[in-house]
Structure 1
Amino acid sequence: MAKHGETRERLLRTAAALFRTQGYHATGLNQVIAEGRAPKGSLYFHFPGGKEQLAVESVALSAGEVHAYLRAVHDLDGALELFAEHLVESDFTRGCPVATVALDAAGESEPIREACASAYGSWQDVLVDFLVRQGVPAARAPGLATTVLAAVEGALLLAKTRRDVAPLRQVAADMRVLIEGAGQ
């Protein structure tokens, strides 16, 4: 029998993967239970707030993993290359772990909107630190981090829809130029 935490973690990771590839509305709780190999009653036991709570926590989980990776690489090119690898490995089904949920449900659920905003905010903080280390003035770094984050999100969407990682590589090249110019 699975331990209490193992079932919860498996449901959460399953939901995160499904929300990332299918979106919030296309992901059903029965699918999460089946693919998470969990007893039917366990979902509401672990997530009494239902699908909304599951989405909030899965966004936080995925966002935390991306945040940790960004902190570890210290390099925008490396991060974009990882995103490109994930897209190719998933046959272009796994884009940003937050964007699909944000586009699908943030407009109708304040907790989901807050989770998505927190995720993007944590990534922006990492980008600000990176930009300051690259010589961008601290006062300019938050605005430029917003531009970088928006460009990366757009590149992920274009790469996914075109089934080609070229937009990610183009954004990496252009962001290098922009960052160098901002640091002068």
Structure 2
Amino acid sequence: MASSYPKGLATRQRLVDSMLELIQLHGYHGTGLNTVLARSGAPKGSLYFHFPEGKTELGIAAVGLAGDQFAELIGTATTTASSPSAAVDALVAELKGILEASDYQAGCPVSSVALDAGSENEPLREACGQVYDAWVSAVSSYLSTFGLKKEQAQPLATSMICLVEGSLILSRAYKSTQPLDAAAGTLKMLMKAVHSEANA
């Protein structure tokens, strides 16, 4: 199928997609640029043409793409679901699908980068922080539709993102979706409490 991107942008996108896929499987430090080039099919010169700063710049682009993809999952789940519980189910079903399709090898690339390189690479740490901010903001906005004030919604949204991220790590470690199921149950209880308080 022909790419919808102009040629130069299509090459750049293949590099970012490949970097993201490899980070999910091997972490940031476990992903070499030669492997990214081989997976993407892009010529070596194109990497430094599109990413003059090399691996860090490519990693930041991959983290940004991961952020956009998960934000889209959140957005779809919260706008199409018939209830808060259904929104949780929809989101968790997508995450389970990713884990199971990769035989529990593919985790969250943002947490992988944050844990792998965030303490030594400030631009990467900032990129991860910006993605988490965007996710928290998206969940916080959803919670505010139930009448929560920002000062209530923000910490609750942060806790919810922590639940999801932590459950993904445990699911990979256990090779089981049980931690995600447990997190889903807790998220539903939190949503029910929010809904009850808003309608009290």
After TM superposition, the score normalised by the length of structure 1 is: 0.94
Aligned to 1:164: 176
Aligned to 2:93: 81
Aligned to 1:47: 51
**Displacement after TM superposition at 1:38 (Å):** 1.2
Aligned to 2:151: 139
**Displacement after TM superposition at 1:135 (Å):** 4.5
Aligned to 2:7: 3
**1:90 equivalent among 75, 89, 102:** 102
**2:64 equivalent among 40, 60, 64:** 60
1: CA distance, partners of 2:149 / 2:95: 27
Output the amino acid matched with 1:95.
G
| 1:32 is the counterpart of 2:36 | yes
Query: Could you list the runs of 5+ residues in structure 1 that have no partner in the other structure?
Result: none
Aligned to 1:152: 164
**1:174 equivalent among 183, 186, 197:** 186
Q: State the percentage of identical aligned residues.
A: 37
Contact 2:104 2:172 in 1 (8 A): yes
Aligned to 1:119: 131
2: CA distance, partners of 1:158 / 1:49: 34
After TM superposition, the score normalised by the length of structure 2 is: 0.87
**Displacement after TM superposition at 1:114 (Å):** 0.8
2: CA distance, partners of 1:98 / 1:77: 22
Contact 1:20 1:101 in 2 (8 A): no
Contact 2:23 2:113 in 1 (8 A): yes
**Displacement after TM superposition at 1:138 (Å):** 3.6
Q: Which runs of 4+ in 1 moved over 6 A?
A: none
**Displacement after TM superposition at 1:82 (Å):** 0.7
Query: Could you list the runs of 5+ residues in structure 2 that have no partner in the other structure?
Result: 1-5, 79-86
RMSD: 1.4
How many pairs are equivalent? 183
Contact 1:21 1:100 in 2 (8 A): no
Deviations, residues 30-88 of structure 1 (Å, cap 9, x unaligned): 10011111112211111101000000011001111111221111022211121011100
2: CA distance, partners of 1:62 / 1:181: 30
